[in-house]
Amino acid sequence: MHLVQQISKAQSQNTGGRPEIIIDWELVDKYIIQGYKGVQIAKMMRISYDTLLHKTKKKYGKTFTAYKRDIINDNGNDNPILDIRDITLDWERFDELSEAHCSPLEIASVFGLTIAQLAKVCARDKGMLLDQYYYIKLSVGKAKIKQKASKMAMEGNTKILLHLCKHYLGQADKVEQVVTLYDPGVQKLITELKRRNELLRELVIAAMNSLPQEQKEKLWFEYEPKLIEVEKDFNSNTTP
């Protein structure tokens, strides 16, 4: 047996028959430094995000978020991609852009930085991952918009008031559709029902005619009034 086959067999035995998934952690680190998210990294490596989380916990005994933070912090300024020694960020401007729903990539472009540099500066100055700090400020922006919209609605802006009622209270415009017997679609349906009613009557008569005369007369005497009554009800309910 070849060495590769022996390794594959051993891996399969350790994973319940499934081949062992080997992760190139140097490549993962490279993606992290370049600013990719965990979901994006998993997709590029053709594994599920859950697998990436599980493998990180198994190999390093920490969550992927903690692992990502350590990689960003441990890559020193000797790496030109993460050289932030001369970078001072205007965090008030960052907060304004985040609240205005600008993306992290757009914000990095405003400051003339790469997304990796911005992530490194955020870890240095705020002690948080860029995604975490960004979404905090993004949420503040959403809250301000809602507060402003609510104030305008209470001051008499009916359009905004209706929008908020639909969005937050689940209200909707009530659309009533009146259908009459004169509508073409209804008339077509009535014609089809009449045709089927006549066909049913013909089938009943044909079935009864195949019976012996005595039994046929007995059934006809019993069911003819019912057929006539049903036909009268149908015609009265479908005549405009």
The answer to whether residues 35 and 114 touch, using CB atoms and an 8 Å cutoff, is: yes
The answer to whether residues 118 and 107 touch, using CB atoms and an 8 Å cutoff, is: yes
Q: Does the pLDDT of residue 173 top 60, yes or no?
A: yes
pLDDT, residue 124, reads 84
Identity of residue 29: D
In the predicted model, what is the mean pLDDT of residues 162-190?
65
Dump pLDDT digits (tens) for 106-158.
Answer: 998 899 888 878 888 888 888 888 888 999 999 998 888 888 888 887 887 77
Reported pTM: 0.45
Residue of 65, 78, 79, 80 whose CA lies nearest to 123: 65
Q: DSSP state, 67?
A: H
CB-count exposure of residue 202 (10 Å: 0-12, 13-18, 19+)? exposed
Residue 72: CB atoms within 10 A of its CB come to: 21
Dump pLDDT digits (tens) for 15-68.
Answer: 555 677 888 888 888 788 777 788 888 988 889 999 999 999 998 898 998 888
Q: Does the pLDDT of residue 219 top 60, yes or no?
A: yes
Dump pLDDT digits (tens) for 61-118.
Answer: 989 988 887 777 665 445 555 567 788 899 999 999 999 999 988 998 899 888 878 8
Give me the helices (H) in the chain, please. 3-14, 25-33, 38-44, 49-60, 64-74, 91-99, 104-110, 115-126, 130-154, 158-169, 184-209, 213-238
